[in-house]
Structure 1
Amino acid sequence: MSVPDSLRTVVAVAVYWTAIALGGSVLLPDPTSPLAAVPILGGGAVVAHAARTGRLVELGYAVGTMWLAVLALSVGTGVVDVFVLPAGEIAPLAGYPGVAAIGTVGLFGVLLVAYAAFARRTAARDADE
């Protein structure tokens, strides 16, 4: 049984947009913060561009790259908390508004840069063929 391309595109768009919204807002202490608009609206714009231009595969790689950045932030925070800070002192990144804002915008920036790089790489590869 074959799945229509339009259904496949709709599912991919929903999955990627959800992954961007969740990953981009992971550092926000309050999910109703106005800063949540960056990954939600920005992610929607990037997903719409990818769907319109046929670059959903490249967007998938970019979303994976953004989640690797989320993982690196989590591991880095844990290492700093265990090895650098005094014993018993826990300092979550999301507790600081400045760090949450920089992190949210930074994660969205990682997504944009990765998407542009993967799209450029695919365009160069297609031009060589």
Structure 2
Amino acid sequence: MSLPDPLRTAVAVAVYWTAIALGGSVLLAAPTSPLVAIPVLGGGAVVAHAARAHRLVELGYAVGTMWVAVLALSLGGGVVDVVAAPDGEIAPLADYPVPAAIGTVGLFGVLLVAYAAFLRRSAERDAAASD
């Protein structure tokens, strides 16, 4: 049994928007920070564009790319914690407001750049297929 297209689209929109909001705000120490508007509102705008343009597949790849960046930041922070301060712990990145803000904006930037790249790749593939 398959889902009707409008329901499938609604589920995809909800999942992608949640993934963007969570991944983009992972570096924020407080969930009430004004910077949470970047991944929540910006993610909503990107998801709305993808849904209207019927490009949810490309958005899915972009969200995956953003989460790879989240993983890289997490691993990088862990390596720095172990290598740079073996005797004592350093505070998590979210405890520093400037790097957390730069990281939040950077993660949203990764999403935008990846989405644009996947859109361009898809358009080139569609153009090549129609020739």
Bin for the TM-score computed over the shorter chain: over 0.9
Q: TM-score, normalised by structure 2?
A: 0.97
- 2:117 alignment counterpart: 117
- 1:18 alignment counterpart: 18
Q: TM-score, normalised by structure 1?
A: 0.98
Paired with 2:80 and 2:123, the residues of 1 have a C-alpha distance of 40
- 2:6 alignment counterpart: 6
Unaligned runs of 5+ in 1: none
Letter in 2 for 1:19: A
Letter in 2 for 1:39: P
Q: State the Cα distance separating 1:86 from its structure 2 match.
A: 4.2
RMSD across aligned positions (CA): 0.7
- 2:55 alignment counterpart: 55
- 1:73 alignment counterpart: 73
- 1:97 alignment counterpart: 97
How many residues matched? 129
Which aligned runs of 4 or more in structure 1 are off by greater than 3 angstroms? none
Paired with 1:68 and 1:83, the residues of 2 have a C-alpha distance of 22
Paired with 2:125 and 2:105, the residues of 1 have a C-alpha distance of 30
Q: State the Cα distance separating 1:29 from its structure 2 match.
A: 0.1
